[in-house]
Amino acid sequence: MLSASVTIDPAFVVGPVRPRTFGSFVEHLGRSVYTGLHDPGHPTADADGFRGDVVELTRELGVTTVRYPGGNFVSGYRWEDGIGPVEQRPRRLDLAWHSTEPNLVGVDEFVRWCARAGVEPMMAVNLGTRGVQEALDLLEYCNVAGGTEWSDRRRANGAEEPYRIRMWCLGNEMDGPWQIGHKTAEEYGRLAAETARAMRMVDPDLELVVCGSSGSQMPTFGAWEHTVLTESYEHVDHISAHAYYWEEDGDLASFLASAVNMDHFVDDVAATADAVRAAGRHDKRINISFDEWNVWYQQRAESRPPSGDDWPVAPVLLEDRYNVADAVVVGNLLISLLRHTDRVHAASLAQLVNVIAPIMTEPGGRSWRQTTFHPFALTARHAAGEVLRLAVDAPVQETAKFGDVPALDAVATHDPETGGVVIFAVNRSLTDDLALEVDLRGFPGLRVAEAVTLSNPDHTWSATADDATSVLPRTNTTAKVADDHARAELPPVSWSMIRLERV
């Protein structure tokens, strides 16, 4: 058995646990909206056609914000198509995913869904095929009380009160050649600055997210952030980061260490933003909205869009079926996001339903929780107060992609109001149990309130509609506290949560 030690001290505070860390993402892509969120024939559907079972699962998942409507989709989207009488809305080609968009769901329906699900809407504007004026029109529709063309149209469409959406994304992945309206960093930085400046003339209290790199593997990574922020620094609050991780060639050890890449990504973006801050002598600090992250098997058949004359509505796309190892990685990526709470002020798991998602549905039928649902839901539910910086001494695991990495990765949160401490940990070893010892002398008088571990001898087990419960986070009976030290045994390829409370 491997062994690792962790020391926790209340003085080593990284920053607060930010509710927006537990955001998600809904794009008009595949079955994310249609037969995912929206399924009028479903037995639980409401007056807008939204599935009640998905609303309840969204609440259980602990999602706080939802980014909408994309994603690649937004770079060709005409938001006006999705307002007014549904029967009068046009059908459009969606070039991003080679599909047909029926516009049965638009901004009004989405905001009503957010209210029912108890989440904050995070809106994206099209800076691919459109620009400043269209962004201003959408902002006016959403946030102006009345007395103008677009605000009065919203009122006529049934929303008397403005939506007051606070967080706005200035386009999506504009560094990517796959993006409709792809731009150079100089072109996009100038457009983003102009759009942000104009939007603040309508509402100065907005929180604006400028597009960062769509992955650290991009050849323009770093230079893109530097140029875009040089143009827009004073007008925006956050820069986005996007990252997806997938197992390649059976290299499970590297896959389990994916959070190492996320750590480097965040550190590099923060350093670049701070370099622009110093060079421009800016007072404020730009933080990170990690508004797309997940495990994604991009080479699978379900990730290939239709082609030719086939332009279907809501085709099956990106419907990955996640296994136990995927859930361990998702839990580890959340550990990384929490560890960087000083700079990551928002994040969005991409996506929420059916499309690389923790929630799956059958059209008109059942819904179920994927393996990745559980670490996200438990972390969102129990991480509270402050994130603490840990001192970790752990054996190393050799990986092909990242070299030697710690076999244990962990983070802890401390709630000063209750005195409770929660430890989130992963054992990256492929074969060995790990004996974890946590020095709690900075928190005397704690006991185990709950300890659960997600693992399985077969790490390739996946949930289905027929069996979503055979492998769940189970009580870890080895977790004990004695002499102000917590001890637990963590099986290989596992994610664990140990929740401690005052005696």
Show which residues are catalytic. 173, 292
Phi/psi region, residue 419 (left: phi>0; alpha: psi -120 to 50; beta: rest), is left
Task: Please work out, in degrees rounded to the nearest 5, the angle formed at the alpha carbon of residue 216 by the alpha carbons of 210 and 220.
Answer: 70
At 379, the amino acid letter reads T
Q: Are strands 167-170 and 120-125 parallel, antiparallel or unpaired?
A: parallel
Residue by residue, what is the 3-state secondary structure of 170-234?
ECCCCCCCCCCCCCCHHHHHHHHHHHHHHHHHHCCCCEEEECCCCCCCCCCCCHHHHHHHHHHHH
Please enumerate in sequence order all residues whose Cβ is within 8 A of that of 400, keeping only pairs 6 or more positions apart, or say none.
251, 253, 254
Please state, in angstroms and rounded to a whole number, the distance separating the CA atoms of residues 25 and 72.
12
DSSP H helices, 241-323, are 252-256, 258-280
Question: Would you tell me how many other CB atoms lie within 10 Å of the CB of residue 321?
Answer: 14
Q: Are strands 2-7 and 434-439 parallel, antiparallel or unpaired?
A: parallel
In 3D, which of 2, 28, 26, 23 has the Cα closest to residue 314? 28
DSSP H or E stretch at residue 453: strand 446-454
In 3D, which of 385, 399, 113 has the Cα closest to residue 251? 399
CB 103 within 8 A of CB 90: yes
At 6, the amino acid letter reads V
In 3D, which of 259, 246, 358 has the Cα closest to residue 299? 246
Token couple for 446: 């704690």
* Phi, psi for 350 (deg, rounded to 5): -105, 115
In 3D, which of 125, 117, 136 has the Cα closest to residue 61? 117
The DSSP bridge partners found for residue 392 are: 6
Token couple for 480: 């004990």
Q: Report helix, strand or coil for 321.
A: coil
CA torsion 230-232-235-239 (nearest 10°) is -90
DSSP H or E stretch at residue 291: strand 287-295
